[in-house]
Structure 1
């Protein structure tokens, strides 16, 4: 009998590819895949988060010159995960990334959560990159003598923090017109390129990668002239905790190598090309990162790094050149490199997210429009357009100062489950051919999972609660939509609909318990990590990450569970299944009452 943890066999996944009327065009070789990975990895992280990782901020310790070791630590974890990804990708040459891998090993429910989780990595991360791109582009234009109005390049929330911006912006019916048009336009442009086709998109990305590496090479070549070894002392100003915290931050600089596996259906020889592309891109980027970190921390002493962040400067590499008085032309070249880097990351992530939606829709967990393939360009046009609209709109109106941490924790969680999936698949199906097999037996995936969890521990407390809220929202969507329409376990797969009601009611009830428990645990972890030293107003600003998910449970999840459990309880199912429905009925009822009571206390000002 199908259930929430029913797995989709690898043979069934491959059969979906073979039986599809329209499949994605195979047009990528190993060089293009490697460049695709480099284009995704080297981007916003090395050009933006390197400063925060080195100096720290109010919620974390800085690594200082030890940032070089932070890159090594983070790269070590990524290498373990990359080998797991490579093994999976060679066995499952189909679009979907960690979503598909989890479907084959951990079951539909976990696969849905992973697919939902990957939205953080691709879509939410891309919103942050688009906003950052707008900042760099505005600086680049200013250097060229073109002034872009602040009200056309700033979201409304950030505008309130800039004196005089709201007052100086044009008004319509008394409402200030403040939005980040630049961020929307770059997302729209990338979306159009992706709609044309994967071959054109891949070569466009290849050109971006070459230009981007040239700019980084220029920074290294010029920066070495101003490097002072004395600036590397003390090497670890905040000890090993600062080093680990820095590794957790700059993990954002490595996000992207997994995006390569999402184009498995478009690789010429996926069993060979995907492992080669993933590992090669990771090794190349790690070497570049360590060199850049050595030059960057050697150009600016640690006290100056701390001051840089206190003035809220968002361009650490250009500031390093300014600190060393390297000249305005050098600063302009690096600013141009930042724009190119961000564009490449936007391209690859906008390429990956629609293909996650494509796979989920093909499995029935999302509406069919997400699985539409353009008859001429053979690209997933429905999911590409919807992703572009969502990311572009969010980038116009949202401030994502803390989205890097949310992106990191979401990605690390997905990577953890990929490592767990390797363990499960080796135990369940040890004889299946593996064109690429990660070395070290079960030790490697275990170390990969533990490494990801270790980096999660060193992320700020706010990211734990927000990620828990995101997972809870995904559980609500699965119970209310995906569990009913799934091709593998949906209502149509059961001869008796009442049996589906009983099964999904039980799953939904326990998801409600799990989601609520996860939210409470994350909130308690926040209290423990902050130790009563939270900044003023922190609790008020973050409380809605707890109350909104609980409200969704109350108005969507529990009514859905209660309705299905009631129908199953009154059916002619065997006694055991009616008892299961009865338990779900009581569980959902009690949880709904407790949730309503808590929300009532919140509304009452408790």
Structure 2
């Protein structure tokens, strides 16, 4: 059993980090590009949506909810920053666990990261499709419903549309998006009549093949393949494309803040603590738990460590600055939303867009749709980038077939084969699978990675306290322990069903490890470079 927890020494890791030449990744990313990757991964459509439900938990205190969630991520972010600067390799949490907790734990976390990155990209591709269809509707272009979603989701959308038609005729006094409206609509959809289902199938209009209706989310598949092609062409090209998209979506967020500030009524924020936080600290905490997932993705910056020009300096900058920028933007959106609309009246489904529509500014809603589309594009790019780099690191260690997953294109200097595999899987899953449950699995997989990295910092400080650390997590073990507690608590809040899915997924991973990974591991077979001291790559 001891071999299952064999570790890669820090000297071996430093030697690998210093490798250059043919077959290695291209070190070309600077601090701006790394920060843009972090912002690109974090800010998606959620900034325009999650604030709505969060406001009903915390009231105007939603601003403090975003601060609390940001602090929770910062605990893990500081731990990632120390590791990324000290071990500038592509594997992120997988590599850090290999150095501190051993091969089996490293495999588990590497397999787990597939939930965050590949399945996360699938989820985002489906969300991108939704906003793309909204964008087409702005130009009065109608996309066939059966080509816009997988079959089960498309039928659900059709039922929802018919339900809203019934609501408009039978419950005209209820305003769409309000709590009362959503409850009544939910009751209709939970027990649809035969007539309602027949109208939904007619609305769907899907072709029938072998007696079954066909459904395919075509935009989700196509955008996944476009992003895959960008990633395969090169890391510099990918970073430039991401930076352009990030600039667009940050401009849209600043536009929302600038325009919305003209319609803010400070009285909506309250005149006392009770009116500012109507449910007290409990409400602020509940809001923080809900919106926490708006921050997920910053850790993907660490997967580009082998492509940073000066990783010791720039990776901590990219991780920490991106978290700070995103937190400030989130607080600004929360302030504008709860200042424009009394928190009791905040629309849950589309809070920002509805706030502008109610003030006769439909064009502002269109700009928000464009911003959400740009936001999701960059999130997908960074998620798929992270996945390919983790697979590259695992293959270099022999845990996956190296000739496929770690082969680097001689011209583009990217792991092109595994990039196209990841993109194809993400596109197919996004096109054919209902993504609600996948999204919850993404969250629990990410939180597990955060917990492992925080534990690894504590372990490495004990086992190798004298190792050079270009960036040091402050107040160890206090900060990492808070990271374990905060992220572990979030995992518990996701419920036993998601825990069961995680256990099943990890069990599948263990089968792969014991049938292939352990037998081909370079650590187990003694094929690693010598244990000579190696300088940290400059």
Shorter-chain TM-score bucket reads 0.7 to 0.9
For these two proteins, the number of residue pairs brought into alignment is: 480
Could you say which residue in structure 1 is the equivalent of 2:103?
A: 108
Deviation at 1:371, TM superposition (A): 1.1
Deviation at 1:491, TM superposition (A): 10
Could you say which residue in structure 2 is the equivalent of 1:141?
A: 136
Q: Distance in 1 between matches of 2:60 and 2:496?
A: 25
Deviation at 1:223, TM superposition (A): 1.4
Offset from partner CA, 1:116-164 (integer Å, 9 cap, x none): 1111211122211111111111111101221111111111111232234
- Distance change in 2, residues 1:47/1:468 (3 Å): farther
Could you say which residue in structure 2 is the equivalent of 1:359?
A: 393
The correspondence for 1:218, drawn from 245, 255, 264, is 255
Could you say which residue in structure 2 is the equivalent of 1:10?
A: 10
Could you say which residue in structure 2 is the equivalent of 1:119?
A: 114
The correspondence for 1:339, drawn from 366, 373, 387, is 373
The correspondence for 2:321, drawn from 268, 271, 280, is 280
Could you say which residue in structure 2 is the equivalent of 1:435?
A: 470
Aligned runs of 1:155-174 on 2, under 5 Å? Answer: 155-161=150-156, 162-163=158-159, 164=199, 166-167=201-202, 168-174=205-211
Deviation at 1:178, TM superposition (A): 1.2
Deviation at 1:41, TM superposition (A): 1.3
Offset from partner CA, 1:546-603 (integer Å, 9 cap, x none): xxxxxxxxxxxxxxxxxxxxxxxxxxxxxxxxxxxxxxxxxxxxxxxxxxxxxxxxxx
Could you say which residue in structure 2 is the equivalent of 1:92?
A: 87
Q: Is the 8 A contact 1:125 1:407 kept in 2?
A: yes
Q: Distance in 2 between matches of 1:241 and 1:400?
A: 30
1:129 and 2:164 correspond? no
Q: Is the 8 A contact 2:80 2:453 kept in 1?
A: yes
Deviation at 1:231, TM superposition (A): 3.8
Offset from partner CA, 1:484-507 (integer Å, 9 cap, x none): 2222126999xxxxxxxxxxxxxx
Q: Distance in 1 between matches of 2:278 and 2:447?
A: 26
- Distance change in 2, residues 1:473/1:241 (3 Å): farther
Could you say which residue in structure 2 is the equivalent of 1:39?
A: 40
The correspondence for 1:474, drawn from 495, 499, 509, is 509
Deviation at 1:18, TM superposition (A): 4.5
**3-state SS of 2:322 partner:** helix
The correspondence for 1:303, drawn from 340, 344, 349, is 344
- Distance change in 2, residues 1:51/1:459 (3 Å): farther
- Distance change in 2, residues 1:270/1:460 (3 Å): same
Q: Is the 8 A contact 2:148 2:154 kept in 1?
A: no
Offset from partner CA, 1:275-298 (integer Å, 9 cap, x none): 111111111111111111111233
Moved more, 364-373 or 179-188: 364-373
Aligned runs of 1:476-495 on 2, under 5 Å? Answer: 476-489=511-524
Deviation at 1:470, TM superposition (A): 2.4
Q: Is the 8 A contact 1:251 1:408 kept in 2?
A: no
Could you say which residue in structure 1 is the equivalent of 2:312?
A: 271
Q: Unpaired runs of 5+ in structure 1?
A: 56-61, 494-606
The correspondence for 1:153, drawn from 148, 154, 158, is 148
TM-score in terms of structure 2 length? 0.85
Deviation at 1:36, TM superposition (A): 1.4
TM-score in terms of structure 1 length? 0.75
Q: Distance in 2 between matches of 1:97 and 1:477?
A: 21
Q: Is the 8 A contact 1:40 1:259 kept in 2?
A: yes
Q: Is the 8 A contact 2:227 2:381 kept in 1?
A: yes
Aligned runs of 1:169-248 on 2, under 5 Å? Answer: 169-232=206-269, 234-248=275-289
**3-state SS of 1:140 partner:** helix
Q: Distance in 1 between matches of 2:83 and 2:354?
A: 41
Could you say which residue in structure 1 is the equivalent of 2:31?
A: 30
The correspondence for 2:61, drawn from 42, 62, 66, is 66
Moved more, 222-231 or 341-350: 222-231
Q: Is the 8 A contact 1:405 1:460 kept in 2?
A: no
Offset from partner CA, 1:421-441 (integer Å, 9 cap, x none): 011001000111111111213
Q: Is the 8 A contact 2:91 2:303 kept in 1?
A: yes
Deviation at 1:359, TM superposition (A): 0.6
**3-state SS of 2:523 partner:** coil
Could you say which residue in structure 1 is the equivalent of 2:435?
A: 400
Give 4+ residue runs of structure 1 displaced > 6 Å after superposition: none
Q: Distance in 2 between matches of 1:152 and 1:165?
A: 16
Higher relative contact order (CA 8 A, sep 6+): 2
